[in-house]
Amino acid sequence: MKKVLLFAISGGCIALCTSLCRPAADSRESAGAAAGSHGNTRAVAYAGRDASVLPAPDAKSGWLSLFDGKTLNGWKVGDNAETFSIENGCIVAHGKTAHLFYEGDVHQHNFKDFDFKAHVMTEPGSNSGIYIHTEYQQGGWPAKGYEVQVNNSHTDWRRTGSLYAVQDVKEVYVKDDEWFWEEVIVKGKHIVIKLNDKTVVDYTEPENVQRPDDMKYRVLSSGTFALQGHDPNSKVWFKDIMVKPLD
């Protein structure tokens, strides 16, 4: 069988190894008391990309891991907790609308200026998002902060990399069923969003910006990150979740 590269997180570090190209055994850990099955386990082998582009999360490099690759320790979800699970070293969002908030020890889960990145993979027709400068909310769509869109082929026209409903991206820059980097850099009033190192959004929030009532908290302040479980027909994978504080 063909050999491929695998990345795994162990003890806060990312290790590179080789493995046969076959699905790993299902090692699911539900965020709820008893998560139901969401279908066949997907192989999450990561091949064909130079390992040098993957920054090892450690204090010296400035990159800090937010996900241990094994558990949801440091993360908190409210309603529909079963939407989030661990499969093959990834966080998987698949189920009813839910949001998984980072509540761990890194930077006291309060970030203002930062460089955030994660590996993301979408299955066809899926929708998700990454929230920044947000805060824990029991249910509904997070009111605080901005959403960075994850959507390559869902019916919503706002595509991956959009600063949702603020500066939207119509073009499709990454593909379903392939891992891609999604990166968000915030410095002061400036937000840059990159997909595989390509800048797709470069936005500066105006001073004293005024939003519509249903978006009045879509402003820069400080806060944590959240991953979105959008709907039962969407399945999205996250791994190598890390941040470099810039303040």
**Which is nearest to 100 in space by CA: 129, 120, 124?**
129
Tokens of 66: 């937010």
Q: Give the model's pLDDT for residue 55.
A: 54
pLDDT in tens, 22-50: 333 333 444 543 333 334 444 444 333 33
Q: Give the model's pLDDT for residue 59.
A: 61
Domains annotated on the chain, with CATH? 3-30+56-245 (2.60.120.560)
Q: What string of H, E and C letters represents the secondary structure of the chain?
A: CCEEEEEEEECCEEEEEEEECCCCCCCCEECCCCCCCCCCCCCCCCCCCCHHHCCCCCCCCCCEECCCCCCCCCEEECCCHHHEEEECCEEEECCCCEEEEECCCHHHHCECCEEEEEEEEECCCCCEEEEEEECCCCCCCCCCCEEEEECCCCCCCCCCCCECCCECCCCCCCCCCCCEEEEEEEECCEEEEEECCEEEEEEECCCCCCCCHHHCCCCCCCEEEEEEECCCCCCEEEEEEEEEECC
- Is the pLDDT at 238 greater than 60? The verdict is yes
Q: Give the model's pLDDT for residue 112.
A: 98
Q: Give the model's pLDDT for residue 79.
A: 97
| pTM, 2 dp | 0.80
pLDDT in tens, 65-98: 999 999 999 999 999 999 999 999 999 999 999 9
Please tell me which residue, 122 or 20, carries the higher pLDDT value: 122
User: What band does 56 get if pLDDT is binned at 50, 70 and 90?
Assistant: low
